Amino acid sequence: MSHKSLFSYSFDEFKQAVTDLGLASFRAKQVWEWIFKKFVFSFDEMTNLSKNDRDLLRQNFPRILPPVKKFEKAQDDTVKIVVELADGHLVEAVGMPDENSLTFCLSSQVGCNVGCIFCRTGEDGFTRNLTKEEILLQVMMLIKKIGRKPTNIVFMGMGEPFFNRKAVFAAIDTMTDAGGLGLATRRITISTSGVIPGIVDMINRPGEVNLAVSLHSVDEQTRNRLVPINKKYSLGRLREAIAAYCDATGRRVTFEMVLLKNINDQENDAYNLVSFCEGLICHINIVRFNKYPGSDLEPAPESNERDFRKILKKAGIPVTVRRSRGGDILAACGQLSGSGNEQEK
């Protein structure tokens, strides 16, 4: 008896496991369809399987989905779930429904060792990487809670996804497999703090997974402070890797900018960003800083943000402002912690 989670298997591996149990191999396809197409997570409800086969599968895969440890819904319908992993650690995942879309924001690690100063996740340091199965569990548990599959996936939750590339890419392969969830790769975005080997891997990967880079500043000293990994992967080398990515793939990179009062929100910061972007296929996404308990940082005043945008627009650089979602349940960008704690009142 394996007792391995079903989500740790690829379809071919699951088919092998099913035939090893003495079942017909087409049973694997039926189970896969129930789970990934019809979102049924109990063998008892898989009505085209015989009772004997259902019993055998239940004995070998006792629990398809664990229960959600904690579920919260924000005023804007953003949903946050806390997932308890087999070793007791907690991770958070967020679902953001809109009229025509549903975006899932996923975690890739328990904690994070990058230490961005505006992010709550890194406060307790790094514990461990998530497995492919634990990443897929977040997706399937959100689907079960919300009742439909996502249109978009972003790896912007807890952790630096490029420090866990093997599991992240394996989870993406299952999400995009036509026999699985069948999501389009171009609907999936990996957001990195600037881990260059991950950007190089993206050049060579098939599919059209999008790349976002948490840039925040193009001044070496300021970025060292905001995103300390910059001391290892400096801005110059980062820009070279991004340029190589744009040249090789023809795809656009999104630069995320959290504008902080008196740190990176001045006009000269915007002009320097324009120079950095020259020759790159890129788009700037201004992310409003979401305050969280214990942080003394302040978001840029609206007037600074407006002037910043104007400078970029005038230089012909596409710029958007990301609407903050789920702030009242600490589900917005930079607010996830895996503590499952309530927001301070």
Query: Closest distance between ligand SF4 and the C-beta of residue 70, in Å?
Result: 19
333 has catalytic annotation: yes
Indicate the residue among 121 and 131 with the shorter CB distance to ligand SF4: 121
Q: How many CB atoms lie within 10 A of CB 250?
A: 9
Nearer to ligand SF4, 180 or 334 (CB): 334
Q: How far is 209 from 256, CA to CA, in rounded Å?
A: 17
The smaller minimum CB distance to ligand SF4, of residues 78 and 107, is found at 107
Of 106 and 158, which has the nearer Cβ to ligand SF4? 158
Smallest distance from the beta carbon of 157 to ligand SF4, in angstroms? 7
CB of 174: closest distance to ligand SF4 in angstroms?
23
CA distances from 334 to 14, 214, 244 (A): 36, 11, 28
Smallest gap from residue 120 Cβ to ligand SF4 (A): 8
**Shortest gap between Cβ of 29 and ligand SF4 (angstroms)?**
37
Nearer to ligand SF4, 67 or 125 (CB): 125
Which residues in this chain contact ligand SF4 in the complex, by CB under 6 A? 112, 114-116, 119, 121-122, 158-160, 193, 214, 334
Minimal distance, residue 218 CB to ligand SF4, in Å: 17
C-alpha span between 127 and 338 (Å, rounded): 11
Q: Which is nearer to ligand SF4, 53 or 92 (CB)?
A: 92
3-class SS string, the chain: CCCCCHHHCCHHHHHHHHHHCCCCCHHHHHHHHHHHCCCCCCHHHCCCCCHHHHHHHHHHCCCCCCCCCEEEECCCCCEEEEEECCCCCEEEEEEEECCCCEEEECCCEEECCCCCCCCCHHHHCEEEECCHHHHHHHHHHHHHHHCCCCCEEEECCCCCHHHHHHHHHHHHHHHHCCCCCCCCHHHEEEEECCCHHHHHHHHHCCCCCEEEEECCCCCHHHHHHHCHHHHCCCHHHHHHHHHHHHHHHCCCEEEEEECECCCCCCHHHHHHHHHHHCCCCEEEEEECCCCCCCCCCCECCHHHHHHHHHHHHHCCCCEEEECCCCHHHCCCCCCCCCCCCCCCC
Q: Give CA–CA dist 210/199, Å, rounded.
A: 11
> Minimal distance in Å, beta carbon 151 to ligand SF4?
23
Q: Name the catalytic one among 33, 240, 333, 342.
A: 333
The catalytic position among 72, 92, 160, 256 is: 92
| Tokens representing residue 62 in the block | 């006792």
Smaller CB separation from ligand SF4, 112 or 143: 112
What residues pair up with 212 in beta bridges, in sequence order? 191, 254
The residues assigned a catalytic role are: 92, 333
